[in-house]
Amino acid sequence: MAPLKILISNDDGVFAEGIRTLAAAAVARGHHVTVVCPDQERSATGHGLTLQTPIRAERADELFADGVHAWACSGTPSDCVKLALFSILEEWPDLVLSGINHGPNLGTDVLYSGTVSAAMEGTIEGLHALAVSSADFQWRHFAPAAELALDVAERMLVEGWPRNTLLNLNVPPLPAEEIGPLRWCRTAVRRYTDQFDKRVDPRGRTYYWLAGEVANDLEAEVSGPSEWPTDVAHVNGGGASLTPLQPEIFWRGDCTTLPALG
Question: Residue 95's domain is classified under what CATH number?
Answer: 3.40.1210.10
The single-letter code of the amino acid at 3 is P
Q: Are residues 107 and 173 in the same domain?
A: yes
Q: Across residues 210-221, what is the average pLDDT? A: 65
Instruction: Choose among 64, 58, 62, 49: nearest CA to 8.
Output: 64
Facing residues of 9 across strands? Answer: 98
d(C-alpha 61, C-alpha 149), whole Å? 22
- Tell me the percentage of the chain whose pLDDT exceeds 70: 89
Q: Are residues 110 and 45 located together in one domain of the fold?
A: yes
pLDDT of 178: 96
Residue 222 pLDDT > 60: no
Question: How far is the C-alpha of 145 from the C-alpha of 124, rounded, in Å?
Answer: 25
Amino acid present at 120: M
Contact by Cβ (8 Å): 127, 96: yes
d(CA 177, CA 141) in angstroms, rounded, equals 13
One domain, residues 59 and 37: yes
Peptide bond before 100: cis, by omega within 30 degrees of 0? yes
* 85 in a structural domain: yes
Number of domains in the chain: 2
In a domain, 254, yes or no: no
Residue type, 10: N
pLDDT score at 195: 78
What is the share, in percent, of the chain residues with pLDDT greater than 90? 76
- pLDDT exceeds 80 at position 194: no
E strand or H helix that includes residue 79 = helix 77-83
Shared domain for 49 and 171, answered yes or no, is yes
CA distance 142 to 99: 10
Do 14 and 84 lie in one domain? The reply is yes
Are 109 and 169 contained in the same domain? yes
Helix (H/G/I), strand (E/B), else coil: 198: strand
Based on the fold, state whether residues 127 and 174 are members of the same structural domain: yes
Question: Is the same domain home to 97 and 203?
Answer: no
What distance in Å separates the CA atoms of residue 161 and residue 163, rounded to the nearest whole number? Answer: 6
Domain around 108: 5-185+222-245
- State residue 54's pLDDT score: 95
Do 134 and 21 fall within a single domain?
A: yes
- Band of residue 256 on the pLDDT scale cut at 50, 70, 90: low
- Name the band, by pLDDT with cuts 50, 70 and 90, for residue 188: confident
Residues 83 and 25 in one domain: yes
Neighbours of 186 (CB within 10 A): 18
Report if residue 258 sits inside a domain: no
CA dist., res. 34 & res. 188, Å (int): 32
Closest by CA to 157, choosing from 18, 21, 15, 29, is: 29
